[in-house]
């Protein structure tokens, strides 16, 4: 399957939009069954299995979190948290792969705001995606969220960056 650069860019923007609109189940469908969501604890961290991370969730754990967010008994989400992503134009790190149907690597700088009641907090960094072309489009194999200050004390991140 041939994927264009614009297809990849549109996919990254659409993913952030699903999160901003709280369409978490639709967002979860973007992940491959073997997909993972990783947020390193240290700047430049390259190992996720032998070191601590802010988050490391496979599709099962992502599903549990999505179920929690929509649950009626999730009192920490009354009222619900809101988020907003501002993305820089995604970069395709291996553009020669686009026409070959292989996994595509991207990097996207972001500013993220999460708000609940009178509190807001901001996260800044870049997301790296590994996307797999399928017959239906693209799937997320890996989303790595790199913060510029991962070692800082952070509030509970309720939603998905």
The pLDDT assigned to 99 comes to 73
pLDDT at 160: 85
* Domains by residue range for the chain, with CATH: 5-147 (3.10.450.50)
91 phi, psi to nearest 5 deg? -100, 140
Cβ-contact 109, 125 below 8 angstroms: yes
Give residue for tokens 């026409």.
Answer: 99
| Cα–Cα distance, 122 to 124 (Å, whole number) | 7
What does each C-alpha distance from 114 to 64, 117, 131, 136 come to in angstroms?
20, 10, 26, 31
- Give the model's pLDDT for residue 48: 85
Cβ-contact 26, 11 below 8 angstroms: no
pTM: 0.92
Averages of pLDDT over each 10 residues, the chain, 161 residues: 87 97 96 96 87 92 90 73 94 83 93 89 95 93 95 82 88
The predicted structure's pLDDT at residue 1: 58
pLDDT at 3: 85
Measured between alpha carbons, how far is 161 from 153 in angstroms, rounded to an integer? 16
Cis peptide before 66 (omega within 30 of 0): no
Contacts of 45 (CB under 8 A, 6+ apart): 51, 53, 150
- pLDDT digit string (tens) for 17-53? 999 999 999 999 999 999 999 999 988 888 888 888 8
Q: How many Cβ atoms are within 10 Å of 59's Cβ, its own excluded?
A: 16
Question: Residue 136 corresponds to which tokens in the numbers above?
Answer: 């239906």
Residues 6+ apart with CB under 8 A from 72: none
The β-bridge partners of 124 are 111
Residue 27's SS3 state is: helix
């Amino acid at each position: 399957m041939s994927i264009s650069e614009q297809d990849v860019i549109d996919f990254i923007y659409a993913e952030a939009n699903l999160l901003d609109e709280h369409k978490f189940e639709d967002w979860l469908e973007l992940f491959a069954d073997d997909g993972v969501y990783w947020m390193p604890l240290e700047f430049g961290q390259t190992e996720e299995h032998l070191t601590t991370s802010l988050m490391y969730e496979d599709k099962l754990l992502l599903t549990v979190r999505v179920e929690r967010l929509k649950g009626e008994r999730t009192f920490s989400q009354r009222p619900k948290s809101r988020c907003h992503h501002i993305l820089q134009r995604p970069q395709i790190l291996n553009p020669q792969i686009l026409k070959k149907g292989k996994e595509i690597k991207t990097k996207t700088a972001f500013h993220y705001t999460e708000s609940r009641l009178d509190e807001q907090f901001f996260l800044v960094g870049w997301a790296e995606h590994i996307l797999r072309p399928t017959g239906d489009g693209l799937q997320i194999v890996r989303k790595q969220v790199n913060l510029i200050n991962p070692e800082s004390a952070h509030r509970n991140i309720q939603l998905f960056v």
